[in-house]
């Protein structure tokens, strides 16, 4: 996972409570706002309970919005997951581990190797380290992502060790992802360039705050979200890999490149799941794809907080400033967000889907126009930013040194 913002808001807030399937009707009106004002957050045990009680709206989204038709599709996909999703995972013995890239502490030359690492990172600029640390913090929030996947109806791991294809995928995906934060954290610590205590505070705050990707316990929405997010992660880590090599730290470049390669495999798995949604249930898949694009992809670390950033910088938001640094440096930009939209529209062959009904046909038309519309808006936003005077912002992650945003 990666925590970056596209930097452009193209969806009005009233669209953020749209969902797909049978619960779509009338939620663009004022009714959801009235409901959200009076309905207190409460636990809903299962989709069947939601059906008996009527839709529960929390923070502008309907819980358990998947229709019976959607859940039937998911229930039919165990064999598909076994044959097309689980094989994307690598056996543990064939996976790299963090220690493969780091000095060996048992070696008599350990301190010499640490010194060499620190000498390499001396030429890496502070704004790069802000991006690297922000990405690392996001990778370290894995408990949140496992919890999110286990909110999805029809695919959650009911026992914590369920032998179902979905339960095995979630646990083993998390196990592969766990290596990413470990490696980045240790590399940053050894570099001496990062205030690890402030990073650790940010990680704890982020895990405690969670995330709200607006997926409504709906597996269609959830796997569209992860398809987008894994590709964004691949792009971000790929760019930090290239830049590290350009700054003269080839080992750090290999670190980020190895992580980007993992994210690329994981993207394939999630897009294959959505491939099957479109094959079996194109109308609901189209509605859900459009729904997630209307909401926009909320990045998983949007609630990050180090406890100091606002104090140091007159109330500024840490995630927003981290995203601005990534945008300016070219680690992840609004144009990348547009590229991912275009890629998924092409991957799921949105243009050539035929026989769609009513709202699904309208969603298809919306999706075909959206990347161009978003790109124009992002270009206008970039033009405005280029004329603005950059601010200098202190980041506690790098010992309160200033970086342009």
Beta bridge partners of 393: 403
Distance between CA atoms of residues 56 and 35, nearest Å: 9
Active site residue 56: no
246 is in an annotated binding site: no
- Identify the active-site residue in 139, 140, 267, 305: 139
Distance between CA atoms of residues 241 and 260, nearest Å: 8
Q: Alpha-carbon Rg of the chain, whole angstroms?
A: 22
2 sits in the region (left: phi over 0; alpha: psi -120 to 50; else beta) called: beta
Active site residue 354: no
Task: Quote the Cα angle for 344-346-348, to 5°.
Answer: 65
- Candidates 15, 12, 14; CA nearest to 291 is 15
Distance between CA atoms of residues 234 and 228, nearest Å: 10
The HSE-up count of residue 62 (CA atoms within 13 Å, CB side) is 28
- Candidates 247, 218, 288; CA nearest to 122 is 247
- Identify the active-site residue in 237, 266, 302, 309: 266
Active site residue 82: no
- Identify the active-site residue in 195, 262, 267, 327: 262
| Total residue length of the chain | 405
- Identify the active-site residue in 177, 281, 306, 324: 177
Helix (H, G, I), strand (E, B) or coil at 10: coil
266 is in an annotated binding site: yes
- Identify the active-site residue in 56, 144, 170, 233: 233
Active site residue 327: no
- Identify the active-site residue in 180, 237, 302, 309: 180
Active site residue 139: yes
Active site residue 121: no
177 is in an annotated binding site: yes
Active site residue 96: yes
Do residues 137 and 3 lie in contact, with contact meaning Cβ atoms separated by under 8 Å?
A: yes
| Complete DSSP assignment for 294-331 | HH----TTTT---SSHHHHTTT--HHHHHHHHHHHHTS
- Identify the active-site residue in 72, 82, 96, 402: 96
Helix (H, G, I), strand (E, B) or coil at 201: helix
- Candidates 2, 19, 4; CA nearest to 324 is 4
Backbone angles phi, psi at 163, to 5 degrees: -85, 10
Q: Report the binding-site residues for Fe cation.
A: 139, 177, 180, 230, 263, 266
Question: Which residues participate in the annotated binding site?
Answer: 139, 177, 180, 230, 263, 266
Question: Which residues belong to the active site?
Answer: 96, 139, 177, 180, 230, 233, 262-263, 266
């Amino acid at each position: 996972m990666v925590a970056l913002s596209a930097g452009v808001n193209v969806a009005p807030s009233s669209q953020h409570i749209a969902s797909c399937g049978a619960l779509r009707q009338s939620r663009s009106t004022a009714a959801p706002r009235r409901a959200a004002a009076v309905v207190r957050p409460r636990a809903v045990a299962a989709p069947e309970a939601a059906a008996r009680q009527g839709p529960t709206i929390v923070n502008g989204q309907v819980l358990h919005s998947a229709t019976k038709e959607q859940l039937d599709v998911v229930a039919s996909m165990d064999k598909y997951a076994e044959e097309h999703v689980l094989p994307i995972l690598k056996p543990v013995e064939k996976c790299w581990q963090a220690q493969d890239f780091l000095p060996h502490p048992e070696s008599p030359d350990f301190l010499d190797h640490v010194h060499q690492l620190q000498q390499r990172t001396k030429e890496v600029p502070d704004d790069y380290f802000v991006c690297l640390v922000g990405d690392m913090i996001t990778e370290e929030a894995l408990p949140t992502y496992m919890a999110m996947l286990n909110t999805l109806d029809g695919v959650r791991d009911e026992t914590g060790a369920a032998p179902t294809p979905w339960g095995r995928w979630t646990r083993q995906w998390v196990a592969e992802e766990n290596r990413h934060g470990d490696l980045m954290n240790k590399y940053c610590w050894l570099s001496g360039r990062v205030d690890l205590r402030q990073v650790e505070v940010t990680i704890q705050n982020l895990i405690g705050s969670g995330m709200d990707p607006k997926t409504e316990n709906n597996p269609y929405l959830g796997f569209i979200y992860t398809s987008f997010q894994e590709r964004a992660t691949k792009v971000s880590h790929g760019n930090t890999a290239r830049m590290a090599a350009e700054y003269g730290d080839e080992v750090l470049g290999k670190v980020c490149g190895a992580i980007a390669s993992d994210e690329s495999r994981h993207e394939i798995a999630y897009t294959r799941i959505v491939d099957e949604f479109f094959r079996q249930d194109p109308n609901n898949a189209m509605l859900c794809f459009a729904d997630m694009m209307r909401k926009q992809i909320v990045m998983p670390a949007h609630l990050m907080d180090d406890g100091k950033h606002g104090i140091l910088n007159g109330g500024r938001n840490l995630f927003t400033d981290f995203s601005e640094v990534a945008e300016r440096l070219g680690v992840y930009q609004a144009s990348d967000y547009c590229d991912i939209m275009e890629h998924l529209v092409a991957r799921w062959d949105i243009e050539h889907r035929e026989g769609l009904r009513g709202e699904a046909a309208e969603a298809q038309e919306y999706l075909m126009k959206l990347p161009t519309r978003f790109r124009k808006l992002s270009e206008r936003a970039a033009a405005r930013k280029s004329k603005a005077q950059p601010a200098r912002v202190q980041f506690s992650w790098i010992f309160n040194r200033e970086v342009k945003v």
